[in-house]
C-alpha cells in the first residue's frame, strides 16, 4: 500500500471540507484534502438560493431572530446552543467570504443583496425578512470557487479523485484513512493525527432526489462501521420543488422572489396551509401541502405534481393583492434566476417566464448524521463523549443546528461556520498530541471487501439492488410514513443487504477508473444508511419536522424532545442496528430566557404548538 502522512486529513472538498482545510492550515497544521471528486465538482457548487445571515442590509434583522427561526424551523429539536453559534457567526462568515472575493449580488447602495426565504422572519415570527445573501442563483458555486482559490493560495495539499473507503482507529483513537486512487485502483493509507469527514449527504438513497450522483453517504457509513452512532437519521428533508420526475431542484429563491404554488384549479393553495407565510412556510409544511393537494385529486391534470409560477403577471397580481408596491418583469426574473430558467428550458422545454413549472417534493437534505459538538468534534454517545482525533462538518454531520427540519440557506451557513470551527480545533489539537501508530493490519479489511465485490459470481447487479432500495425508500420512508410502510422498507432493505453480501456481481474487472466497482461499494454505504433511517423512523412515534407519520400525527414533546442515536451492532453482513432515544436536546436559549425571569410570553425558545 502507498503511504502518506499529514497531520490533518480532510475527507471531502465541498464547502465544509474547504473551509476546514483553510482554517487548519492557517492554524499552522500540515493539511491534506482527499476527495473523490475534483473539488469544484462538489455538490456545494449546486446550491442555488443563498446563504442566510442577519446582515440587515434590506430590513432590520438580528442574529437572535435568525436563531429563533432556526429553532422553530427545526420543530424544537434543534440544539439551541448550536443555533445560536450558527446565527451569530453567520455574519462574520459571509463578510469573510466577501473579502475573499465572492461576487455577491448588490443592493443599489452596493451592500450585499438579500432575499426572502422560507421560515426566515423578523422579530420572532412577526414578518418575513430579507436574509438570504446570494450571487444570482449560483451562490454555492461562488462559495466553492472562492474557497478553493483560497486553499490553493494557502498551499493546501489536494488528493483529487481519491475515494476514502475506511477509517483507521487504533485503541479508540483516530489514526488515518484508507483511500482508493480512482485512476489506478490502488490503495493508499493516509496516516493522520486528526481526520475530518465532510463527505456531504445521501439523497441517492431515494429515487426522486435533488442530490448529485456522488451523494452516497460514504463518510457517515464508514463512521458507523467504526463504532460512531448516527444521530437523528429519521429526519430527511424533502424539498417541495423538485422538477417533476427528475428531482432537479428549483430553488426556494423562486418563491422568495414572489413565485407561487398553484394546484389544478389554479388556486394558491398555500394560503390554506400556512395563512401568514403562505408559499414561504418551512419546507416540511410545503412538501406535505403538495402531497395533500395531490392526494385529494388537485394535482395538475390528476398527476402527482403542482405548478410553481414565477410569471411576472401572476407574481404582480399577488403583490398587488397583498398591498405591496413591488413589481417584477421578465428581465428581473432573467437576472435573478438565470440557472433555473436554463434548467427548465433545457430539461423540460418549459420557459418559466411564459409557463408555470411542474414540481413535486424531492429528497434533499440529511438533518441527521455523524454527531458532533459545536467544535465539529465527533461525539459517540448521549453524554457527548468526544472521540479523540475525529471530526465532522457539513451535511454529513449532525451538530444539531437544524433539528428536525433545516431552513433554506442554513446549510451553506453550517458549512462555513462549523467547517471553520473544525479547522481551528484540529490545528490546536494536532499541536498537542503524538501520532497514533497505525495498526499492523491497517487497510486489510477493506481491501478484502473490495476483492469480494470484484470477484462476486452472484446474479444481482448493483444497479438493480440500488433501484429497489431507492424505490422502497421513496414509497415507504418518504414525505409521509406509517408503521406498516416503514416495516415493509426495513424487510426489503434486509433482503437487499442479503443479496448485496451473498449474490452480487459486477461487469468491470479492471483497475483504472472502475466506476462499476466503486458504485457497488457505495451501494453498501447507502443500504446501511437507508436501513438506519427506516429503523430510527420506526422508533420515533410522533410527527416532528420532516418526520411525518400518519399513525402518529402530533408532536409529542413529553416523550420525544430527544435525539436518537443508531449504533451498528455486529459485523456489516449480519449487522443490526440498535437505536436509542436518550440524547437530550440543548435548550440553553430557552433556559437563559427563563433565568432572566421573563414572563411566559417572552419565552420565545420554548416549544410551541405548530401554527403556521
Ligand atoms: C441542488 C441543491 C441546491 C441547494 N441549495 C442550497 C442553498 O441555496 N442554500 C443552502 O444553504 N443549502 C443548499 N443546499 C444544500 C447544500 O448545498 C449542501 O447541504 C452542502 O453544499 C453540502 O456541503 P458539504 O461540504 O457538506 O458536502 P458536498 O458539497 O456535498 O461535498 C462532499 C465532498 O465529499 C467528497 N466525498 C464524498 N465521499 C467521499 C469519499 N468516500 N472519499 C473522498 N471524498 C468523498 C466529495 O468529493 C465532495 O468533495 C442545496 C443542495 C442541493 C443538492
Instruction: Report if residue 488 sits inside a domain.
Output: yes
d(CA 520, CA 454): 9
Instruction: Report if residue 330 sits inside a domain.
Output: yes
Q: Is the pLDDT of residue 515 over 80?
A: yes
Domain boundary among 362, 386, 409: 362
Distance 396 CA to ligand 1 centre (A): 9
**Ligand 1 pocket, Cβ-based, cut-off 6 angstroms:** 11-17, 34-37, 39, 42-44, 46-51, 139-140, 163-164, 198-201, 210-211, 214, 218-219, 249, 251, 365, 394-396, 408-412, 415
pLDDT tens profile 297-327:
999 999 999 999 999 999 999 999 999 999 9
Q: Which sequence positions are flagged as catalytic?
A: 283
d(CA 266, CA 307): 9
Strand partners, 209: 363
Instruction: Report if residue 606 sits inside a domain.
Output: no
Q: Looking at ligand 1, which atom is closest to the CA of residue 35? A: 44
353 and 451 both lie in a single domain: no
Average pLDDT, the chain: 95
Distance 567 CA to ligand 1 centre (A): 24
Contact 234, 368 (CB under 8 A): yes
> If you take atom 37 of ligand 1, which residue's CA is the nearest one?
199
> If you take atom 49 of ligand 1, which residue's CA is the nearest one?
13
pTM (2 d.p.): 0.95
Percent of the chain with pLDDT over 70: 99
d(CA 30, CA 589): 37
Q: How confident is the model at residue 598 (pLDDT cuts 50, 70, 90)?
A: low
457 and 346 both lie in a single domain: no
d(CA 559, CA 432): 42
pLDDT tens profile 6-44:
999 999 999 999 999 999 999 999 999 999 999 999 999
> If you take atom 31 of ligand 1, which residue's CA is the nearest one?
14
Instruction: Report if residue 339 sits inside a domain.
Output: yes
Instruction: Report if residue 459 sits inside a domain.
Output: yes
Distance 236 CA to ligand 1 centre (A): 15
Strand partners, 566: 230, 579
Q: Would you mind telling me the total number of residues written for the chain in this entry? A: 612
Q: What is the CATH number of the domain that holds 491?
A: 1.20.58.100
Q: How confident is the model at residue 612 (pLDDT cuts 50, 70, 90)?
A: low
244 and 356 both lie in a single domain: yes
Number of independent structural domains in the chain: 2
Pairing of strands 31-35, 260-262: unpaired
> If you take atom 11 of ligand 1, which residue's CA is the nearest one?
409
Domain that holds residue 311: 239-362
**pLDDT average, residue stretch 396-419:** 97
Contact 24, 6 (CB under 8 A): no
Q: Is the pLDDT of residue 287 over 60?
A: yes
Distance 16 CA to ligand 1 centre (A): 8
Amino acid at each position: 500500500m502507498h503511504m502518506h502522512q499529514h497531520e490533518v486529513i480532510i475527507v471531502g472538498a465541498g464547502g465544509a471540507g474547504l473551509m476546514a482545510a483553510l482554517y487548519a492550515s492557517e492554524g499552522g497544521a500540515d493539511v491534506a484534502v482527499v476527495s473523490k471528486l475534483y473539488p469544484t465538482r462538489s455538490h456545494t457548487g449546486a446550491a442555488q438560493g443563498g446563504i442566510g445571515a442577519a446582515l440587515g442590509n434590506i430590513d432590520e434583522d438580528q442574529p437572535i431572530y435568525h436563531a429563533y427561526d432556526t429553532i422553530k424551523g427545526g420543530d424544537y429539536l434543534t440544539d439551541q446552543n448550536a443555533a445560536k453559534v450558527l446565527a451569530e457567526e453567520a455574519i462574520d462568515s459571509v463578510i469573510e467570504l466577501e473579502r475573499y472575493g465572492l461576487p455577491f449580488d448588490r443592493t443599489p447602495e452596493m451592500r450585499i443583496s438579500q432575499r426572502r426565504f422560507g421560515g426566515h422572519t423578523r422579530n420572532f415570527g412577526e414578518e418575513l425578512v430579507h436574509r438570504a445573501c446570494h450571487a444570482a442563483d449560483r451562490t454555492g458555486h461562488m462559495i466553492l470557487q472562492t474557497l478553493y482559490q483560497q486553499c490553493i493560495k494557502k498551499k493546501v495539499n489536494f488528493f483529487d479523485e481519491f475515494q476514502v473507503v475506511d477509517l483507521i482507529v487504533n485503541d479508540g483513537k483516530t489514526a488515518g484513512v484508507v483511500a482508493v486512487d480512482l485512476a489506478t485502483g490502488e490503495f493508499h493509507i493516509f496516516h493522520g493525527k486528526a481526520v475530518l469527514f465532510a463527505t456531504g449527504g445521501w439523497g441517492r438513497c431515494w429515487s426522486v432526489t435533488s442530490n448529485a450522483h456522488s451523494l452516497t453517504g460514504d463518510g457517515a457509513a464508514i463512521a458507523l462501521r467504526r463504532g460512531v452512532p448516527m444521530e437523528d437519521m429519521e429526519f430527511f428533508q424533502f424539498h417541495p420543488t423538485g422538477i417533476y420526475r427528475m428531482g432537479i431542484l428549483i430553488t426556494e429563491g423562486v418563491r422568495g422572489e414572489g413565485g407561487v404554488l398553484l394546484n389544478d384549479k389554479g388556486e394558491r393553495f398555500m394560503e390554506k396551509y400556512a395563512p401568514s407565510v403562505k408559499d414561504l412556510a418551512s419546507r416540511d409544511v410545503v412538501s406535505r401541502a403538495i402531497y395533500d393537494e395531490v392526494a385529494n385529486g388537485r394535482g395538475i391534470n390528476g398527476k402527482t405534481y403542482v405548478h410553481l409560477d414565477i410569471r411576472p403577471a401572476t407574481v404582480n397580481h399577488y403583490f398587488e393583492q397583498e398591498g405591496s408596491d413591488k413589481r417584477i418583469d421578465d428581465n428581473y426574473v432573467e437576472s435573478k434566476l438565470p440557472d433555473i430558467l436554463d434548467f427548465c428550458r433545457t430539461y423540460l422545454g418549459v420557459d418559466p417566464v411564459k409557463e408555470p413549472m411542474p414540481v413535486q417534493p424531492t429528497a434533499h437534505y440529511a438533518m441527521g448524521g455523524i454527531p458532533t459538538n459545536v467544535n465539529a468534534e465527533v461525539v459517540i454517545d448521549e453524554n457527548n463523549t468526544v472521540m479523540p482525533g475525529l471530526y465532522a462538518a457539513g451535511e454529513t454531520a449532525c451538530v444539531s443546528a437544524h433539528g428536525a427540519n433545516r431552513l433554506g440557506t442554513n446549510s451553506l451557513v453550517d458549512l462555513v461556520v462549523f467547517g471553520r470551527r473544525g479547522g481551528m480545533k484540529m490545528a490546536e489539537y494536532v499541536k498537542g498530541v503524538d501520532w497514533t501508530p497505525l495498526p499492523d493490519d491497517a487497510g486489510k479489511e477493506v481491501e478484502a471487501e473490495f476483492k469480494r465485490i470484484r470477484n462476486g459470481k452472484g446474479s444481482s447487479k448493483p444497479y438493480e439492488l440500488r433501484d429497489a432500495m431507492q424505490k422502497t425508500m421513496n414509497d415507504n420512508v418518504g414525505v409521509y410514513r406509517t408503521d406498516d410502510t416503514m416495516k415493509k422498507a426495513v424487510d426489503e432493505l434486509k433482503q437487499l443487504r442479503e443479496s448485496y453480501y451473498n449474490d452480487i456481481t459486477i461487469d468491470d474487472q479492471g483497475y483504472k477508473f472502475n466506476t462499476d466497482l466503486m458504485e457497488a461499494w457505495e451501494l453498501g454505504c447507502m443500504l446501511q444508511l437507508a436501513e438506519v433511517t427506516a429503523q430510527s423512523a420506526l422508533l420515533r412515534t410522533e410527527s416532528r419536522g420532516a418526520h411525518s407519520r400518519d399513525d402518529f400525527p402530533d408532536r409529542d414533546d413529553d416523550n420525544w424532545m430527544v435525539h436518537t442515536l443508531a449504533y451498528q451492532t455486529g459485523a456489516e453482513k449480519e449487522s443490526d442496528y440498535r437505536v436509542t432515544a436518550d440524547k437530550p436536546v440543548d435548550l440553553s436559549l430557552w433556559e437563559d430566557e427563563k433565568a432572566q425571569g421573563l414572563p411566559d410570553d417572552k419565552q420565545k425558545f420554548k416549544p410551541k404548538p405548530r401554527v403556521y
